[in-house]
Structure 1
Amino acid sequence: MPRPPAAVLVVACLAAVTAVAGLAFAWSVRPDDPAVTGAEPPRDELRCGAAPCRPVVSRAVGSDAVELLVGSGVGRIRTSGTSGPNVFELTIAASGAVITERSLQCADAEVAVCLVRGDAGAEARGEVLVRRSGAWSRAQVPYVAGGGYLALHDVDRDAVADVVAVQRECPPGVDCPRRFAQVFSLAGGGGELGCTAVVDAQELLPGWPTVVPDVADLTACGT
């Protein structure tokens, strides 16, 4: 059989190169590339309002991870690990609290507790997740600390972290230095453990700047 002319070989080679280049381009603009097509992001991508959520901070709690994610005035709390995937609304973000890398505190135990806190003016606002029997759930009580301090400490030493909130003791509409600590239990049905005596300055609170009152010093709040 006679050889094809050189010109024919050149045309054939060019056709092959063009075909390969076309396949490469088609791959680069395949339909699942949202940067090219404007398609919706993957279904497992969390959204905070109109934009994807931005991770802020994560903590390991035993074999689980708890992560805070925020957007424009919207936030999520995501848990993953042995307890399985869960997503909770970050309610304090919607109320104007500022979420930072210091907003998440967790205490790992048989009953694990995570406190999410954020500053909103002079107040600290918080919400709590509790893991019992391997499942996370939201504690229904929102927490507000008028004195700006909100943290977890096992005040009554029952192996379940409690919420300690510092409050102002001032007339309505007046700012003053008088403070007291209010303690909430997360064991069983939860509830208020009590309050410390009012002091004339926050530096006089027990353990300041880490406020850890003794349970023996707590009395019924408001008395």
Structure 2
Amino acid sequence: MTRPPTAALVVACAAVLTTVAGLVIAWSLRPPALSDAGATAPQDELRCGTTTCRSIVKREVGVDSVELLVGEGAGRIRTAGASGPNIFELTIASSGAEITEASLQCVDAEVGVCLVRGEVDGEVLGEVLVRRSGAWSRAQVPYVSSGAYLALRDVDDDTVADVVAVQRACPSGDDCAGWFAQVFSLAEGGGELGCTAVVDVPEALPGWPEVGPSPPDLGSCGT
């Protein structure tokens, strides 16, 4: 018996609806794409030199965070939080300095300060970010310690951290029994605060092992 046209039409429509329903179910069960899962697509990954950046250390500085990222022969400093996102070049990484979890020291205050340091060829290289009025900027002076010590300490009690660098009292490459501490201000205007007297062993420096001379300990650094 020939099926009535109306019945055939009903069967055809039912088949179409079944197919559409199957497609809808298959779509709902598909594996999540990168954008659905909240992941970052490869083209959006932050690059450090020839490789993708990897995080080494992150510190909280009040309402902000400061993070060190490194790759093959290059690195970046990333800040986030109330100050907004910022990315700075990690210049000492490009100079070959070793970046570790101990490379980042930060002091949270009205003027926030972060020192990034790393060792290369027997010296410690450093660079500084300063947060004033809620905005981070780079201190333009690069810092070098020939005595394997570079750290932040408020030497002059002005509530702004200073950079303390231990130096060898001899020409580069020479070995001598002479050590002194050199202090740099990060307050507005900056500049060199002075140097301590030369001592025979680093343990004799004021405050060792956390070197921190007081203003009366400082004199001219000479030439």
Coarse TM-score class (shorter-chain normalised):
0.7 to 0.9
1:188 CA drift (Å): 1.0
1:52 CA drift (Å): 1.5
- CA displacement 1:191-222 (0-9 Å, x = unmatched): 00000000011111111111011111100101
Aligned equivalents of 1:107, 1:125: Cα separation in 2? 19
Question: Structure 1 residue 157 and structure 2 residue 157: aligned?
Answer: yes
Aligned equivalents of 1:199, 1:48: Cα separation in 2? 41
Amino acid paired to 1:130: V
Q: Percent identity?
A: 65
What secondary structure sits across from 2:160 in the alignment? coil
Q: Gaps (5+ residues) in structure 1?
A: 5-10, 34-38
Aligned equivalents of 1:146, 1:135: Cα separation in 2? 31
Match of 1:201 in 2: 201
Query: 1:110·1:132 contact (CA, 8 Å) conserved in 2?
Result: yes
Aligned equivalents of 2:102, 2:172: Cα separation in 1? 30
How many residues align? The count is 213
Match of 1:175 in 2: 175
Q: Could you list the structure 1 runs, at least 4 aligned residues long, displaced by more than 6 angstroms after superposition.
A: 14-18, 29-33
Instruction: Pick the structure with greater CA Rg.
Output: 2
- CA displacement 1:100-121 (0-9 Å, x = unmatched): 0010001111111100000113
The root-mean-square deviation of aligned C-alpha atoms, in Å, is: 2.9
Question: Structure 1 residue 41 and structure 2 residue 43: aligned?
Answer: yes
- CA displacement 1:126-157 (0-9 Å, x = unmatched): 00000011110000000000001000000000
| TM-score relative to the length of structure 2 | 0.84
Aligned equivalents of 1:61, 1:171: Cα separation in 2? 38
> Aligned pair in 2 of structure 1 residues 195, 82: CA closer, same or farther (>3 Å)?
same
Query: 1:177·1:202 contact (CA, 8 Å) conserved in 2?
Result: no
Q: Gaps (5+ residues) in structure 2?
A: 9-14
Match of 1:216 in 2: 216
